[in-house]
Structure 1
Amino acid sequence: MEDQAHQTGPTAGPDHEQRWAELADLVLIISREIQFRGYTDEQAVPLSPSEGMVMRYLQHEPAAPPSRIAAATGLQRTNLSTVLGGLERKGLVERRTNPGDGRGITVHTTEHGRANYALVRQEWAAAVSAAAGHDATHLDAALTLLTAVEAGLTSLRPGTRAEGPATEA
Structure 2
Amino acid sequence: MTEDQTHQTSPTAGTDEDRRWAELADLVLIISREIQFRGYTDERAIPLSPSEGMVMRHLQHDHAAPPSRIAAATGLQRTNLSTVLGGLERKGLVERRADPGDGRGVTVHTTERGRANYALVRREWAAAVSAAAGHDTTHLDAALTLLSAMETGLTSTRPRTRATRPAAQSHP
Q: Which runs of 4+ in 1 moved over 3 A?
A: none
SS in 2 for 1:104: strand
Q: What is the distance in 1 between the residues matched to 2:104 and 2:117?
A: 30
* Structure 2 segments unaligned to the other structure (5+ residues): 1-13, 167-172
Residue in structure 1 matched with residue 45 of structure 2 by the alignment: 44
Separation in structure 2 between the aligned mates of residue 98 and residue 27 of structure 1, nearest angstrom: 38
* 1:108-135 Cα deviation digits (max 9, x unpaired): 0000000000000000000000000000
Task: Work out the CA distance in 2 between the residues paired with 1:95 and 1:60.
Answer: 17
- Matched to 1:127, the amino acid is A
Equivalent positions of 1:8-19 (< 5 A) are 14-19=15-20
With the length of structure 2 as denominator, give the TM-score of the two structures: 0.84
SS at match of 1:43: coil
2: CA distance, partners of 1:44 / 1:155:
31
**More relative contact order in 1 or in 2 (CA 8 Å, sep 6+)?**
2
- Number of residue-to-residue matches in the alignment: 151
Aligned to 1:29: 30
Identity fraction in percent: 85
- Residue 59 of structure 1 aligns with an amino acid whose one-letter code is Q
Q: Which residue of 2 aligns with 1:63?
A: 64
Please name the residue that 1:6 is paired with.
Answer: none
Task: For 2:92, give the aligned amino acid.
Answer: G
Q: Which residue is equivalent to 1:10? A: none
SS of residue in 2 equivalent to 1:75: coil
**Equivalent position of 2:145 in the other structure:** 144
Q: State the partner residue of 2:87.
A: 86
Query: Which amino acid in structure 1 is aligned with residue 124 of structure 2?
Result: E
Alpha-carbon distance between aligned partners in 2 of 1:120 and 1:54, rounded to the nearest angstrom: 14
In structure 1, stretches of 5+ residues that fail to align are 1-12
**CA offset at residue 97 of structure 1?**
1.1
Query: Partner amino acid for 1:54?
Result: V
- Computing the radius of gyration from Cα coordinates, the structure with the larger value is 2
CA shift, 1:99, in A, is: 3.4
Query: In the alignment, what sits opposite 1:123?
Result: 124
Please provide the CA RMSD for this pair: 1.6
